[in-house]
Chain A
Amino acid sequence: NAGVMQNPRHLVRRRGQEARLRCSPMKGHSHVYWYRQLPEEGLKFMVYLQKENIIDESGMPKERFSAEFPKEGPSILRIQQVVRGDSAAYFCASSAYQETQYFGPGTRLLVL
């Protein structure tokens, strides 16, 4: 089992561009969580998805951020019109229903 995969591992964008972060859950897991870690901070919950459904997006910024987990393929976290404050590490975790969350290696986004 390859574990949770995230790509890219590092992403550099200029202000105003779009960032797309991908997360492939562990085999057999249908629950995906996205977390953001700002410098010197702990991980903060953003969104919880199951296949084709957003279950809880209470941690998502109201604008520019969206997430999906289609029937086929990875979960995508999309950030439109990035700003410098979006620079952070974005972690994805997957689980079976309400079981232990297993984390990916993260994507480090740098906005210039």
Chain B
Amino acid sequence: AQRVTQPEKLLSVFKGAPVELKCNYSYSGSPELFWYVQYSRQRLQLLLRHISRESIKGFTADLNKGETSFHLKKPFAQEEDSAMYYCALKERYGGSQGNLIFGKGTKLSVKP
């Protein structure tokens, strides 16, 4: 079954420290993966998608098919990065037309 796992419920780092939010997936096929972020009292918004291979707000994520992972990384965390981060997989099979499967989310707390 398609599944997204974010093993850390909470990740706390100090400002300037590197951060890595883990995401593993289970999918039979060619996955399309996303990271969404939700800042306090704001709506869920797209941070990045693997097919774009872009860097947004200093974050990057590389799809590793061998390890079925899509970890989110930033070399130097900032206080404004504190938020909930959700990894998501776009489902494409059968009748599904692109609904997203979400992990449970990781709350990132960046301390001054």
Which residues of A line the B interface, CB within 8 A? 3-4, 31, 33, 35, 40-45, 48, 55-56, 58-59, 91, 93, 95, 98, 100-106
Chain A: CB-nearest residue to B87: A42
Q: Let me know if B103 and A42 touch, CB within 8 A.
A: yes
Q: Is B74 interfacial (CB-CB < 8 Å)? A: no
Q: How far is the CB of A3 from chain B (nearest CB, A)?
A: 8
Interface pairs (16), CB distance under 8 Å: A3-B43, A4-B43, A33-B99, A33-B100, A35-B100, A35-B102, A42-B6, A42-B105, A55-B97, A58-B96, A95-B98, A98-B97, A100-B46, A100-B49, A103-B44, A103-B45
Q: Let me know if A42 and B102 touch, CB within 8 A.
A: yes
Distance, CA A3 to CA B101, complexed state (A) = 22
Q: Let me know if A103 and B97 touch, CB within 8 A.
A: no
How many residues belonging to B are interface residues under a CB distance threshold of 8 Å?
22
Distance, CA A56 to CA B93, complexed state (A) = 11
Q: Is B86 interfacial (CB-CB < 8 Å)? A: yes
- The 8 Å CB contact of A103, one of B4, B6, B43, B99, is B43
- The 8 Å CB contact of A41, one of B36, B45, B100, B104, is B104
Q: Let me know if B43 and A55 touch, CB within 8 A.
A: no
- The 8 Å CB contact of A91, one of B44, B99, B105, is B44
Distance, CA A35 to CA B86, complexed state (A) = 14
Known: A42-B105, A55-B95, A58-B95. Is A102-B100 also a contact (CB below 8 A)? no
Q: Let me know if B99 and A59 touch, CB within 8 A.
A: yes
Distance, CA A61 to CA B102, complexed state (A) = 18
Known: A40-B104, A43-B86. Is A104-B99 also a contact (CB below 8 A)? no
Chain B: CB-nearest residue to A47: B99
**Which residues of A sit under 8 angstroms from B49, Cβ to Cβ?**
100
